Amino acid sequence: MKNTLIALCAFMLLTAGCSHKNKQPAPLQATATGAAIVESSGGKQIGYIGMPLDQTVVVQVNDASGSGVAGAAVYFRGPSGVSFAPAAALTDSSGQVTTTVALGQQAGRYKLTASTRDGSGKKAEVRIDEIALGYQQTVGAQLNGQYCVRCHDPESTPQRVSNMDNLAVKPHPFTEGDILNKISDADLVAIISHGGAALNKSPLMPPWGYTLSKSDIAALVAYIRAVADPPHEAGGLVYAQK
């Protein structure tokens, strides 16, 4: 008995200096549960390494009939380096939770999950994919904004009117992975450098090889690969939780 007591004291003394940082968010007191969780907005954004995404990520917890449930607990999780503010929250009156996401330190695709538990304690999950651009892809993104976007992006804003509708042959938006992924890096470089006509494609695409440097064009290809949807297989790492 005495020995046990001494052993206990010794153990407590030994471990007194250690403290465990609890990384798990404190469990939330959910007042309701839903049947499913869906993404409302904020998926498929193109951000930069380590930086918060421009738009917040919004998910919604629905009941069996598909309408929002207030007071359900939602937990966000992602691969290491990704941070959420907040990482866990209760849904608001419309059944939604909004969080600000900062991506990790490496360029690539990030697979995030938002989860909730239904009435029986079973986990319901939704996956949200985001893209982080590194240095080379950032150069590509900047060049894209300067030279390519007005024809290759169908979206018009008051500051930047899209030229796509004015073109007889429509250019491919860079996110159009199912088409662009089939073109090899070398062919992409050739089309950008020498124009569409060089590969028997539309001459509406001008040659940029005498205006942009080789590293500029490599950066553009890196950007095109990074934003492809569906993803390009060599488009960098996919970060998901183990």
Partner 1 sequence: MVVGFALEGYLLMKDKLSSIWRFFFGDSARAFGSASIILLLLLAIAPAKNHFSQWRHYQKRYLHFIRGRADAVTLERHFQGGIQQIWIPEQQITDRCTTCHLGLKEASLADVSSVAFRKHPVIPHSLTEFGCTTCHRGQGAATTLQEAHSASEQWEQPLLPAKYIEAGCGQCHLENQTGTPFLNQGRQLISAYGCTHCHTIKQPDGTYILPDDDPPSLKHIADKTTREWVYAWIKDPQAYATTATMPNYHFNDDDARDISAFVLAQSAPLEPPIQPVKADANAAADPAAGTTLYGQSFCASCHATQNAAGMMVGGNVGPELTGIGTKAKPEWLQDWVANPNHYDPGTMMPHYRFDAKQVTTLAGFLESKTEPDFVANVHLDPATPAQIEHGKRLVVENGCASCHQINGIKKPENFAPELSRIGSKPLNQLIFVEGVEHTLPDYIGAKVRNPRAFGPSLKMPQFKFTPQQIDAVTTALLALTDRAQTQPPNMRIASVQQTKYEPAGAAGQLMRDLRCLTCHRIDGHGGDMAPDLTWEGTAVQREWLTQFLKNPETLRPALIRRMPKFNLPDSEINTLTDYMMTVYQTPEFDRDSLPVSQLTPAQVEQGRQLFYSKFACQSCHIADYKTDKGYIGPALAGTGKRFNAAWVYHWLKDPQALRPGTIEPNQHMTDDEARSLTAFLMSLKSTGSKEAM
Q: Is 198 in the site for partner 1 (CB under 8 A)?
A: no
The 3-state secondary structure of 23-82 reads CCCCCCCCCCCCCEEEEEECCCCEEECCCECCCCEEEEEECCCCCECCCCEEEEECCCCC
Q: Measured from the CB atom, is 120 or 200 closer to partner 1?
A: 200
Q: Is 3 in the site for partner 1 (CB under 8 A)?
A: no
Q: Is 88 in the site for partner 1 (CB under 8 A)?
A: no
Region from 58-66, 118-126, 173-181, 216-224 binding partner 1, contact rule CB under 8 A: 216-224
Q: Is 218 in the site for partner 1 (CB under 8 A)?
A: yes
What span, in angstroms and rounded, lies between the C-alpha atoms of 20 and 46? 36
Residue from 25, 52, 71, 86 binding partner 1 (CB under 8 A) = 52
What span, in angstroms and rounded, lies between the C-alpha atoms of 130 and 120? 31
What distances in angstroms separate CA 204 from CA 11, 25, 55, 142, 148, one per listed residue?
Answer: 77, 54, 34, 22, 12
What span, in angstroms and rounded, lies between the C-alpha atoms of 80 and 106? 10
Phi and psi at residue 13, in whole multiples of 5°? -60, -45
Q: Measured from the CB atom, is 27 or 158 closer to partner 1?
A: 158
Q: Is 83 in the site for partner 1 (CB under 8 A)?
A: no
Residue from 44, 77, 111, 150 binding partner 1 (CB under 8 A) = 150
> Which positions touch partner 1 (CB under 8 A)?
48-52, 54, 100, 102, 104-107, 134-136, 138-139, 142-143, 146-147, 150-151, 158-159, 161, 163, 165-167, 197, 202-211, 215-216, 218-219, 222, 234, 236-237
